[in-house]
């Protein structure tokens, strides 16, 4: 039986209006119109359009001055950003608003972990942006992620997260390891297990109070980011427990977790920051966007000690898209804004500001990281390393519940082995139970 919610909540609305006998609303209903995109009034005079862009924490457009630049170019446009820091609040909010058909922003950001859900369940709520741009500008796999089976592109790629290994030269040296980035890359090329082997070597002579890597989960995520299959196959069937990519990545993570080479930190936690500041781990799998994070959190102590080497396999972690909801009032203007923000030149500007790596290869030739960033990372050819990775990342298929499945494996399975001393088999079983729960089986 299928029922539609629409009629019944209109009924609810009527009931409520009838119930509101008093003038309680009088005091607070001064805000005009129906509250969709152009409600803000703002400074604009007549004819000036206010575009709203809904994002979660990471974009940095404002910091890179892109909104100001666009408003200078288009005198009739005023841009307001609506930020919701946490994606786990942002995305339910967007889903609700999309389905209500009201209150969406003119431009809506979508994280890679949610893009498949958006493509599969919300495609009719978004404008087909594929018709508006030269699609070949984007990396194939990036474009594919935001495109429906019948060829509709609901979001244009912003940044991606090509993978490298960031390591502390000074600590590697003390542990008697190779410190040259090219030779290191050659040592672990092709297999994350080889990276783990380097870690075993490191632990034999590890400087006091240091470990080889921040966490087993980061190795897992990095390895999985380069696998052919993740949790779903091409047709959207769930194959996580048969997936070769999952198996290999899990094994690499288990090798880390069971050999005492991890600092056992949870990424993006306060203690992780402190780990950077105190230099308690010697390497971390770093997508491009983590570069700025490392520089900031490691501070002066890490300056010139960090270096960047190519990761064992080309991999991607993270990245986002911008879409235009059909409920917006200024779709034409919104499309123009999205086109401009995702164009190679603008992506390059964001890279210069916070090292978010462009999803449009034509930008790669002109990419220049900030000068102090280059110095911070021992003059490593950051752009080159990430660009090489970006170009060879395989097309990966995501599924609707990709994110909860991933956290079942990392934050339940791997964490149990790493922090609670469970066996890899126990960890796997725990993750399996968790995923059953996620899928409602």
Interaction with other proteins in 194-223: which residues (CB under 8 A)? Answer: none
Give yes or no for a contact between 333 and 77, defined as CB atoms under 8 angstroms apart: yes
**Spatial separation of the C-alpha atoms in residues 130 and 152, rounded to whole Å:** 6
Q: How many residues does the chain have?
A: 441
Q: How far is CA 312 from CA 59, 376, 409, in A?
A: 28, 23, 21
Torsion of CA 279, 283, 286, 289, to 10 degrees: 20
Which one, 100 or 365, has the nearer CB to other proteins?
100
Tokens of 280: 């308690």
Decide if residue 5 touches other proteins (CB under 8 A): yes
Tell me the site size for other proteins, rule CB under 8 A: 103
Which one, 120 or 331, has the nearer CB to other proteins?
120
Residue 226: burial class (beta carbons within 10 Å; 0-12, 13-18, 19+): buried
Decide if residue 429 touches other proteins (CB under 8 A): no
Decide if residue 7 touches other proteins (CB under 8 A): no
Which one, 63 or 182, has the nearer CB to other proteins?
63
Which one, 84 or 193, has the nearer CB to other proteins?
84
Instruction: State in angstroms the smallest separation of the CB of 134 from other proteins.
Output: 28
Position among 65, 76, 101, 182 found at the interface with other proteins (CB under 8 A): 101
Give yes or no for a contact between 355 and 288, defined as CB atoms under 8 angstroms apart: yes
Instruction: State in angstroms the smallest separation of the CB of 411 from other proteins.
Output: 4
Which one, 21 or 46, has the nearer CB to other proteins?
21
Interaction with other proteins in 288-327: which residues (CB under 8 A)? Answer: 289-290, 292-293, 296-300
Check the CA dihedral 355-357-363-364 and report its sign. Answer: positive
Instruction: State in angstroms the smallest separation of the CB of 98 from other proteins.
Output: 9
Which one, 105 or 198, has the nearer CB to other proteins?
105
CB atoms within 10 A of CB 63: 11
Instruction: State in angstroms the smallest separation of the CB of 91 from other proteins.
Output: 9
CB atoms within 10 A of CB 107: 28
Tokens of 225: 């980011």
Position among 356, 360, 373, 396 found at the interface with other proteins (CB under 8 A): 356
Spatial neighbors of 22 by CB under 8 A, at least 6 apart, are none
Interaction with other proteins in 114-153: which residues (CB under 8 A)? Answer: 117, 121-122
Which one, 20 or 375, has the nearer CB to other proteins?
20
Decide if residue 182 touches other proteins (CB under 8 A): no
Q: How far is CA 295 from CA 166, 215, 255, 262, in A?
A: 11, 19, 28, 21
**Spatial separation of the C-alpha atoms in residues 358 and 159, rounded to whole Å:** 5
Decide if residue 27 touches other proteins (CB under 8 A): yes
Interaction with other proteins in 373-412: which residues (CB under 8 A)? Answer: 400-401, 403-404, 407, 410-412
């Amino acid at each position: 039986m299928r029922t539609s919610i629409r009629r019944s909540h209109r009924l609810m609305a009527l009931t409520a209006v009838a119930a509101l006998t008093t003038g309680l609303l009088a005091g607070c209903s001064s805000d005009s119109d129906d509250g969709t995109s152009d409600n803000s009034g703002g400074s604009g005079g007549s004819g000036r359009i206010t575009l709203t862009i809904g994002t979660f924490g990471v974009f940095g457009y404002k910091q890179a001055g892109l909104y100001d630049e666009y408003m200078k170019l288009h005198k009739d446009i005023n841009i307001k950003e609506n930020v919701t820091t946490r994606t786990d609040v942002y995305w339910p909010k967007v889903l609700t608003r999309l389905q209500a058909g009201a209150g969406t922003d003119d431009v809506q950001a979508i994280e890679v972990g949610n893009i498949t859900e958006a493509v599969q369940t919300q495609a009719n709520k978004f404008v087909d942006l594929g018709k508006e741009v030269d699609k070949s500008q984007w990396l194939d796999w990036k474009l594919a992620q935001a495109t429906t089976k019948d060829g509709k592109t609901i979001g244009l790629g912003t940044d991606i997260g090509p993978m490298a290994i960031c390591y502390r030269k000074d600590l590697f040296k003390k542990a008697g390891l190779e410190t040259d980035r090219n030779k290191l890359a050659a040592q672990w090329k092709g297999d994350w297990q080889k990276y783990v082997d380097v870690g075993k070597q490191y632990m034999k002579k590890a400087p006091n109070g240091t470990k080889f890597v921040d966490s087993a989960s980061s190795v897992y995520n990095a390895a999985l980011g380069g696998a052919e299959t993740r949790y779903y196959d091409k047709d959207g069937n769930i194959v996580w427990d048969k997936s070769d990519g999952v198996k290999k990545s899990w094994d690499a993570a288990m090798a880390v977790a069971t050999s005492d080479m991890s600092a056992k930190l949870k990424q993006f936690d306060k203690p992780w920051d402190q780990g950077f500041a105190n230099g308690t781990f010697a390497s971390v799998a770093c997508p491009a966007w983590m570069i700025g994070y490392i520089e900031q959190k490691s501070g002066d102590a890490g300056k010139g000690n960090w270096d960047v080497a190519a990761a064992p396999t080309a991999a991607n972690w993270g990245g986002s898209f911008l879409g235009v909801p059909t409920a917006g009032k200024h779709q034409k203007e919104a499309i123009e804004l999205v086109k401009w923000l995702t164009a190679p030149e603008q992506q390059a500007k964001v890279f210069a500001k916070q090292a978010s790596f462009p999803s449009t290869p034509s930008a790669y030739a002109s990419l220049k990281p900030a000068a102090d960033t280059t110095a911070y990372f021992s003059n490593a050819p950051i752009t080159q390393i990430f660009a090489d990775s970006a170009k060879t990342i395989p097309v990966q298929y995501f599924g609707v519940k990709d994110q909860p499945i991933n956290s079942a494996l990392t934050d339940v399975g791997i964490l149990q082995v790493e922090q609670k001393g469970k066996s890899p088999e126990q960890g796997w079983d725990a993750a399996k139970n968790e995923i059953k729960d996620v899928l409602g089986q």
